[in-house]
A and B are shown apart, each in its own frame.
Chain A
């Protein structure tokens, strides 16, 4: 065995530990990355959503007879349209939007006590949050919200959708709300709620369970309010004149049996009859009497919709042009400017007193 061959063998032997250490480090890195990847992805995504959208989320200041009010709002388009909570706007006369270091005066466009939201506007070009489709939201959907708690800067909170609710404490919503296990704090009223794609799917309207959870108005419902305002400069809830009660036969596709039709109401004129089972109104399927609230909410006075009923075992469709409800809601223009309107409902509501 020559000296050269001995040195080559020694060199090879020296390489092996180096290679082994490198391989071990790589393996440890890959394993560590894989085991932590789920949490890291969610954390990174929440941070991305917060960083990307925080400039579109603003603090709202206003006043009422009790003093100063602060809450959260967010830009829904680049022309300065802001969604916020109904009670964030105070009496609607002195609203200021704080966007970073800027203070912008805002005017009330519409306030909707049915949903607990308001739309205000600043006259400038603004960043805005992308709006999603809340109808695709289901239980366990991850959520992120951004709001201004107390006198603090914007912070985020994250959680999951717990369910979709049609009522709260045995009283019905005007439209289905999202119930979320999403911690919120005072000042989060009107805050946007986003999915992990970074799209707004709702607006925080109330904190429950000691603020460890909240109720969220779906953005599709908020957009219905905004569309009404854009089209008519007021809310235009539709009415067809149908009353339903639960049917006793649970084997039927719907338990919403029509028990009363208002004389000369749109549904009566279209041919809907007492005793029909209500199956569908427009795009909204009716399985139970409480489903009519969603159907009613998305009706617009003056628009046509299709009412599908089950009569004598066969489905029948009727085209109905919704009208304004002749009794319940009255639209009151509380401002000198015609586009500033506030809808006042005569039905008894559980609007919390001052709520602040």
Chain B
């Protein structure tokens, strides 16, 4: 038994003289982190995000129904906002469609139908809009 251990004892004695250089332990942590980052860069970003999100969520200890509530709330807000925006647009569209004249008004650059002096074909009504404002050849006196 003692003879069998002698080579090991020799090796251990040898190790006493096989020590790492002095700065090995100082650089150990930096080297470890460098290798860790190098390893991470070889993985796709979504995998890293997924892993980190999983780790982050594990710390919450939130019951499953809370996530369902968040989803329902988000869907509700989305629906409400989309509905309210389409409501305003619909109201304006209704105004324009019920009054064809308004449709022309919405497009501020489009030509407005008719002239300033308009006569409905059969009715003798005139619809007033002056073609030019009142102005004068006035002297500079007052």
When distances are taken between beta carbons in the complex, the residues of chain A under 8 Å from B127 are 70-71, 149-150, 185-187, 189, 356
CB-nearest residue of chain A to B77: A29
A168 touches B135 (CB 8 A): yes
Closest Cβ of chain A to B14, distance in Å, is 42
The complex places the Cα of A26 from the Cα of B128 at a distance, in Å, of 52
**Stretch of A94-102, A130-138, A209-217, A332-340 that contacts chain B:** A209-217
Interface status of B139 (Cβ within 8 A of chain A): yes
* Of the residues A11, A26, A296, contact of B64 by C-beta under 8 Å: A11
Please, could you name 11 A-B residue pairs with CB atoms under 8 Å apart, sorted by A? A15-B64, A46-B92, A67-B124, A87-B128, A155-B99, A174-B136, A186-B129, A205-B134, A206-B130, A292-B141, A350-B132
When distances are taken between beta carbons in the complex, the residues of chain B under 8 Å from A167 are 135
Interface status of A207 (Cβ within 8 A of chain B): yes
> Given A18-B67, A187-B129 in contact, is the A211-B54 Cβ separation under 8 Å?
no
Chain B contact residues, CB within 8 Å of chain A: 50, 53-54, 57-58, 64, 67-68, 70-71, 73-75, 77-78, 81-82, 85, 88-89, 91-92, 95, 98-102, 104-105, 107-118, 120, 123-142
CB-nearest residue of chain B to A173: B135
The complex places the Cα of A240 from the Cα of B71 at a distance, in Å, of 76
When distances are taken between beta carbons in the complex, the residues of chain B under 8 Å from A207 are 116, 129-131
Chain A residues touching B, majority SS: mixed
* Of the residues B53, B102, B129, contact of A211 by C-beta under 8 Å: B129
Interface set, chain A 98-136, CB cutoff 8 A to B: 113-116
A85 touches B126 (CB 8 A): no
CB-nearest residue of chain B to A61: B125
The complex places the Cα of A285 from the Cα of B117 at a distance, in Å, of 38
When distances are taken between beta carbons in the complex, the residues of chain B under 8 Å from A23 are 74
> Given A87-B128, A155-B99, A185-B114 in contact, is the A206-B58 Cβ separation under 8 Å?
no
Q: How many A-B residue pairs have CB under 8 A?
A: 256
Chain A contact residues, CB within 8 Å of chain B: 11-16, 18-23, 25-26, 28-29, 32-33, 36, 40, 43-44, 46-47, 50, 66-71, 85, 87-88, 113-116, 149-159, 167-169, 171-174, 177, 181-190, 204-208, 210-212, 215, 238-245, 256, 260, 289-290, 292-293, 295-296, 299, 347-352, 355-356
B142 touches A292 (CB 8 A): yes
CB-nearest residue of chain B to A281: B142
B53 touches A85 (CB 8 A): no
> Given A47-B88, A190-B128, A356-B128 in contact, is the A299-B95 Cβ separation under 8 Å?
no
B128 touches A185 (CB 8 A): no
A183 touches B71 (CB 8 A): no
A15 touches B95 (CB 8 A): no
